[in-house]
Amino acid sequence: MENTIAAIATAYGEGGIGIVKISGGKAKEILDQIFVGINDKPLRNRYLTFGHITDSDTGKIIDEALVSYMKGPKTYTTEDVVEINCHGSIISLRKTLELVLRKGAILAEPGEFTKRAFLNGRLDLVQAEAVIDLIRAKSDKSFEISINQLEGFLSKKVLDIRKMLLELLIKLAVNIDYPDEDIEELSYREVKKSLLQISDMIEILVSTAETGRLIQEGLAVSIIGKPNVGKSSLMNALLRESRAIVTEIPGTTRDTIEEFLSIKGIAIKLTDTAGIRNTEDTIEKIGIEKSKESFNKADLIIFVLDGSNELSKEDREIIEIIGKRKSLVLINKGDLEQKIDTKQIKKLIPEAKVIFTIATEGAGINAVEKEIEELVYGGKVRQGESMLVSNVRQKNLLEKAGLAIKEAIEQTEASMAMDFLEIDVKAAWELLGEIIGETFSENIIDEVFARFCLGK
Amino acid sequence: MKQILMEDYNVIVIGAGHAGCEAGLAAARMGEKTLMLSINLEAVAMMACNPSIGGTGKGHLVREIDALGGEMGINIDKTFIQSKMLNTAKGPAVHSLRAQADKVRYHEEMKKTIEKEKNLDLKQGEVIDLIVEEGQVRGVLLNTGAAYRAKAVIIATGTFLRGKIFIGEWSFFSGPNGLSASIELADNLKKHGIKLRRFKTGTPARILGSSLDYSKMKEQAGDEKIVPFSFMNDELECEQVSCWLTYTNNKTHQIIRDNFHRSALFGGQIEGIGPRYCPSIEDKVNRFSEKERHQTFIEPEGRSTDEMYIQGMSSSLPEDVQEAFYKTIPGLENAKISRPAYAIEYDCIDPFDLKINLESRQIKNLFCAGQFNGSSGYEEAAAQGLLAGINACLSINGKNPFVLDRSEAYIGVLIDDLVTKGTNEPYRIMTSRAEYRLVLRQDNADLRLTKRGHSLGLVNMERFAKFSTKTEQVEKEMKRLAETIVFPNQALRFMEKNVSTPLQNKISLADLLKRPEITYDKLADIDKDQPKISSHAKTQIEVQIKYEGYINKQIKQIERFKKLEGKIISQELDYSKIEGLRIEASQKLNQFKPLSLGQASRISGVSPADINVLLIYMERERRRGK
């Protein structure tokens, strides 16, 4: 039987609701475990039912939802399909998806619903061509993203844990495959000790994912502009609290500052960049590099100009960098005498909406928020959905690895033979490998020979 | 040079080592007129290195060969002088049988079996060339001018192909054990476009047992209860002989270190790549300099000889150094060396040049097996020999190849690893190479493979009848155990006797058997209806009941694995024409021509997205074809 797959089916930001879609033999079984209908109404094939998505392990309600259950084969994939309509908040969508995965579904690969529809005879040959493009495009994109994340915090931690797992696997492999050799026998105490340590490390990573340090989701908005035009004041105004340092000396914000906030229900990751200008200061240079990086990853750019000065050479350079990227232009310092030529700006960057603000007083901030809202709900700006997918995927893999280690610990407690627990330890090692794109098990064998003196 | 055309055959096997013997017997048993050729008939089933069969992973291979109707298991059961089940403290999946063999008798018995086999001729002769016509092999040419034509040829040349022995500063062309090497064949294989490379292996000295002081060593006796290798034997009697354990010391290491420069290995004369799991003693001393001692087992070579094998101490140091360092080992002070240790280098192919049925990619109906394919070990060789023999017969009869996948047998893991992943050193099987170890147990090889062997025509009536009886016994008895209920008061004394927690509720015998301290035989005390069944059946019932949960988990994984494995890809497919495949992937796929989507997914450089593209493409083609 095919696995049951699940994914968030709607692009974020396009409407007030989001859909988690499940397809496969276990779709209904999973729904039954997580959905409580209002007044205990039973689910009916092809009817919408209102109720709550509930985490049965904690008893917590995750979201109100309208769910539909469509029995195969007359569905898109020809399999049993469940659609859960949640509120559009990215948090509730993610939580719902995670719950579905925990109950036995597997995260759908890019284009997998369509692939199944095709393989099960639902789509015609012309459509099939599109499926190939879809798989190609989406997997390349998620590949790119996982590569990006390789540099980060997550991959370092995962590498650390895998190193410990590898140590253990090598010892287990030698004990199993070379019973005659002059090698210290592995004790349950020793194995359990390192398993507990590994389990803790995984648990910490999972909870980090929960608090959002790992899963940095939300619309990526980057504030850009040359030094001292009021970027930090704008950030503060949006946050309505003073966190970024604001001074009169250009170049104070030397590092990028990230904040998470919610505007009209839209999760936003706001990055205040160091002012971009030519500089000899090394620390500041680093800041500028980081600004450019965050700028490159942004879904939306807020370009801040100082209205009390004329458009400078540096401003024009920034406009050039922005090019056709989705952006808002803020003309700040409206309380001072205006020298900037608004018409010229509109000519240079015609697609951007221009808004006047006095960031230090919070004036014009409402207009900024309204504009962001319109852009998002109008579907003009979209968060990279593959980023979200890869995050859910990573957390899912972490959780599975944690479970495998827990099973291995239980086996040490039951004094099960070492070769049984080796299976779970190896599974955890492979799951973590999937996060960073390494699963080749040959290196265990390589290490065995490098580490131990074996031979006939 | 004039050729003398001799009798025609259907299958010709070059080499009569462990691969050649299985290949020849399998082809003959499948009804093909078969010829086996060996440079020297004393080399038939010769154990050129260690005097044992089996061990971790290897024991599994022997059981599988046996289940398919091969000879290795039966032959070792006839000729063993000590038997041991390894890893009994661990789970049943890694229990591994190993037997010490009487080398001479092992050779004699195998030779007798071959001589008696209908359809099979064994001849002494050196093959110097293949007869190849239109990309297809048509026979072999001997150095006597004799030419034999055949429909298929199997190469199993072991370490004979351009074999070269190294002992210290000295080296000379030679096969193992002083037999002559096969040089011309190597030259001619190259002419036929077969790419060859060099691998290396080695063997320790043989020392006369009468010169050893066993009081300084630790005795290693065999198991009290002998478990046979072959399914055909229920019980075996044997007066077992012991092996002996002793250790090297600092003196040994010092002598070796002082003479590193005289070792062929470090002197740079050897170009071949040796196996890491079988390093020479100088290699061990060099790489693990912090180790104060290395263990060595002294193993008898047979009942009719006084020679002992010095396990763990292979070397390519010169004879004077060998004399000196062996004598530093406790118990070996007066050792008389009968044969010096040596390293041997030989020609072999890159297994990437083979299809999954062990047929050459370059020459049709040319099959390859054993060390020639880059593996090492008697058991690995025999397993490939058997499969090469089977596939040669299937190929000349226009039938589909016989392929075991990674979830069906260690043989499948071995061959898939070789041809899909390749190897940079002589390949050895290990249980950790198998993904589905809990299912690929040595105790159920017959259940996994005997039916397959039967439909190939390799399993004789006697074996199949015995197999059918066993499967029936197992099924019936499993059902009965699940249905028979014991009540707490009935089992009070039984539980006490076996130091098992008293029962709280009624329980089935099957569930009771799940307790670690309870065995099938013990159950007889409270199970008046226990039938008389074979020991094979008992083991099977115990393992299947005790480890049910784990086994079922793995069976589910196998089901998923099988989905891709079952999707067969046409060998004619031109991958460069498939849109959406990355260039690297389509090049690799064109080079490999995988047999199934599963095999394709294991090729390095082919990503999951490529597999999806391929899947869609195949489905589209299928529909177009309709």
pLDDT digits (tens, 9 = 90+) for B504-513: 999 999 999 9
Calculate the alpha carbon distances from B390 to B69, B405, B492, B605 in Å: 11, 15, 55, 31
**A370 and A237 assigned to the same domain:** yes
pLDDT band at B578 (very low <50, low <70, confident <90, very high): confident
Tally of structural domains, chain A? 3
* Domain at B566-625: CATH architecture: Orthogonal Bundle (1.10)
Q: Does the structure show a pLDDT above 80 at B414?
A: yes
The third-level CATH classification (topology) of the domain covering B206-344 is: Elongation Factor Tu (Ef-tu); domain 3 (2.40.30)
pLDDT at residue A149, as a whole number: 47
Task: Identify whether A289 is part of a domain.
Answer: yes
| pLDDT tens per residue, range A212-222 | 433 345 577 88
Reference A245, options A280, A213, A287; nearest CA is A287
**A287 and A357 assigned to the same domain:** yes
A103: domain CATH number is 3.30.1360.120
Q: Does the structure show a pLDDT above 60 at A106?
A: yes
Residue of A nearest to B417 (CA): A442
In chain A, % of residues over pLDDT 70: 70
Task: Identify whether A18 is part of a domain.
Answer: yes
How many Å apart are CA A144 and CA A149, to the nearest integer? 9
* Domain at B4-52+69-88+103-199+346-402: CATH architecture: 3-Layer(bba) Sandwich (3.50)
pLDDT at residue B621, as a whole number: 80
In chain B, % of residues over pLDDT 70: 100
**A249 and A370 assigned to the same domain:** yes
Calculate the alpha carbon distances from B453 to B29, B66, B176, B459 in Å: 11, 10, 33, 5
**A73 and A25 assigned to the same domain:** yes
CB–CB contact A419 B579 (8 Å): no
How many Å apart are CA B311 and CA B307, to the nearest integer? 13
Task: Identify whether A140 is part of a domain.
Answer: no
In chain B, which residues have their Cβ closer than 8 Å to the Cβ of A417? 89-91, 94
Task: Identify whether A273 is part of a domain.
Answer: yes
**A279 and A259 assigned to the same domain:** yes
Task: Identify whether A144 is part of a domain.
Answer: no
User: Which of A110, A132, A448 lies nearest to residue B580, judging by beta carbons?
Assistant: A132
pLDDT band at A246 (very low <50, low <70, confident <90, very high): very low
Within B30-157, residue ranges assigned H as helices are: 58-67, 72-79, 103-116
**A278 and A333 assigned to the same domain:** yes
How would you classify the pairing of strands A35-37 and A48-55? antiparallel
Domain with CATH 3.50.50.60 in chain B: 4-52+69-88+103-199+346-402
B323/A210: higher pLDDT: B323
**A188 and A323 assigned to the same domain:** no
Reference B130, options B37, B198, B200, B41; nearest CA is B37
Q: Which two tokens stand for residue B315?
A: 């070397």
Calculate the alpha carbon distances from A372 to A221, A268, A381, A382, B172 in Å: 10, 10, 9, 11, 82
Q: Does the structure show a pLDDT above 60 at B278?
A: yes
A401: domain CATH number is 1.20.120.430
Residue of B nearest to A132 (CA): B613
B73/A288: higher pLDDT: B73
Q: Does the structure show a pLDDT above 80 at B99?
A: yes
Residue with tokens 């265990």: A444
CB–CB contact A418 B560 (8 Å): no
Task: Identify whether A143 is part of a domain.
Answer: no
pLDDT at residue B375, as a whole number: 96
Domain with CATH 1.10.10.1800 in chain B: 479-556
Paired with B344 in beta bridges are B165, B201
**A46 and A12 assigned to the same domain:** yes
Q: Which two tokens stand for residue A5?
A: 């797959």
pTM above 0.90, yes or no: no
pLDDT band at B98 (very low <50, low <70, confident <90, very high): very high
pLDDT at residue A127, as a whole number: 66
B557 interface with A at CB cutoff 8 Å: no
**A367 and A416 assigned to the same domain:** no
Domain with CATH 2.40.30.260 in chain B: 206-344
B325 interface with A at CB cutoff 8 Å: no
pLDDT band at B536 (very low <50, low <70, confident <90, very high): confident
**A64 and A99 assigned to the same domain:** yes
Mean pLDDT of B574-581: 86
In chain B, which residues have their Cβ closer than 8 Å to the Cβ of A455? 277-279, 284, 312, 314
Q: Does the structure show a pLDDT above 90 at B367?
A: yes
**A346 and A223 assigned to the same domain:** yes
Identify the weakest region by mean pLDDT among A208-222, A281-295, B143-157, B438-452.
Answer: A208-222
pLDDT band at A244 (very low <50, low <70, confident <90, very high): very low
Task: Identify whether A129 is part of a domain.
Answer: no
Contact B341, B24 (CB under 8 A): no
A187/A281: higher pLDDT: A187
CB–CB contact B90 A1 (8 Å): no
If you write DSSP's letter for every residue of A399-410 in order, what string do you get? HHHHHHHHHHHH
pLDDT at residue B303, as a whole number: 97
The phi, psi pair for B337, rounded to 5°, reads -80, 125
Contact A168, A405 (CB under 8 A): no
- The answer to whether the bond into B351 is cis (omega within 30° of 0) is no
Contact B152, B392 (CB under 8 A): yes
In chain B, % of residues over pLDDT 90: 80
Q: Please state the ipTM of this predicted complex.
A: 0.85
Q: What CATH number should be reported for the domain whose range is B479-556?
A: 1.10.10.1800
pLDDT at residue A14, as a whole number: 44
**A340 and A257 assigned to the same domain:** yes
Mean pLDDT of B565-594: 88
Residue of A nearest to B436 (CA): A423
pLDDT at residue A143, as a whole number: 46
Helix (H), strand (E) at residue B521: helix B520-523
Q: Does the structure show a pLDDT above 70 at B462?
A: yes
Identify the weakest region by mean pLDDT among A270-284, B93-107, B131-145, B477-491.
Answer: A270-284
CB–CB contact B57 A177 (8 Å): yes
Q: Does the structure show a pLDDT above 90 at B339?
A: yes
Domain residues for A103? 5-123
Mean pLDDT of A149-171: 79
The average confidence (pLDDT) of chain B is 94
pLDDT at residue B265, as a whole number: 76
pLDDT at residue B183, as a whole number: 97
| pLDDT tens per residue, range A108-137 | 877 788 888 878 877 766 666 666 666 665
pLDDT at residue B522, as a whole number: 94
